Amino acid sequence: MLNKETKIFIAGHRGMVGGAIKRNLEEKGYSNLLVRTSSELDLRNQAAVTAFFEEEKPEVVIDAAARVGGILANNNFPYQFLMENMQIQNNLIDASLKTDVQKFIFLGSSCIYPKFAPQPLKEEYLLTDTLEPTNEWYAIAKITGVKACEAIRKQFDKDYVSLMPTNLYGTYDNFDLQTSHVLPAMMRKFHEAKENGHVPVTLWGSGTPMREFLFVDDLAEAVVFALNNVLPDYLYNVGTGVDLRIKELAEVIQKAVGHEGEIIWDSSKPDGTPRKLMDISKMHALGWSHKVALKEGIEKTYAWFLENQQNYKEVKL
């Protein structure tokens, strides 16, 4: 069990997920949080990661570090999505094992499951069929991380657990139209269209795929729940258990933003997986469930977007 002085290393603390986890732990009074920026510690560098672990000796590690992006980024940079994610997670997992880290939380993605797996997605569907081609590079990397943690549980009896969140969104999200995921990309498009006189907005695909979305603060709660409990299995889905069509999502975001123009669907662009709904019964049975409804989460995210627009220009978003 953790106490408020447990030394916890949060890898990827400057990202949306890692930042939410860090804020959650700080709010709960955890005072011994260990963080490093990418310029201070390159997680792709095995020797640097090993030296860091040997010097700092964290007791708990949360791996929220990854190279992430939407369909476009995955399609354009397959090698980086495969190799860099494997380098990051392998270095963290191996260094944790070698320095006797007792608790490790590995964060992945629902894209690890087969493209045409039965819905909702159960943990046991892993590796039962082929992956979605547009993000298989990222998915394969994450699958190797899940299996590495499972192997450590099996061979060394350590509390290494993998949490697979559904599609995430929230404050501190990435709004770069070249690399962002669907929800923040839509939000920025609708906002800019509103600012330009409510001009039409063109969105990718047919709008018919079904997707599930989890507010990032709810994932942070799930991670802290996993830290404070010994979970009996190696793999758990984290989501809401509720999905909607991309067209419906667009309408919710459009209303929150206040855009009054037309939505045009470009069906020449790929849709990706037809549906990705998570079976979250295992986490529910242990006592965790989400709290933030989609409409509320989108409104919170847009409010944050409006307050931080000056920062987007600085980082060329």
Q: What is the set of active-site residues?
A: 138
**Whole-angstrom Cα distance, residue 38 to residue 135?**
24
**Whole-angstrom Cα distance, residue 227 to residue 183?**
29
Torsion sign across C-alpha atoms 173, 313, 203, 304: positive
Hunting for tokens 């590690």 — which residue is that? 61
**76 annotated as ligand-binding:** no
**86 annotated as ligand-binding:** no
Torsion angle, alpha carbons of 10, 166, 173, 50, to 10: 20
**109 annotated as ligand-binding:** yes
Structure tokens at 255: 């209303």
| Number of other residues whose CB lies within 10 A of the CB of residue 157 | 8
**18 annotated as ligand-binding:** yes
**Whole-angstrom Cα distance, residue 17 to residue 14?**
8
What Cα–Cα distance (Å) separates residue 149 from each residue in 14, 50, 154, 195, 206? 24, 17, 9, 47, 38
**181 annotated as ligand-binding:** yes
**Residues placed in the known binding site for substrate:** 189, 204, 211, 271
**Residues placed in the known binding site:** 12-18, 107-110, 142, 165-168, 181, 189, 204, 211, 271
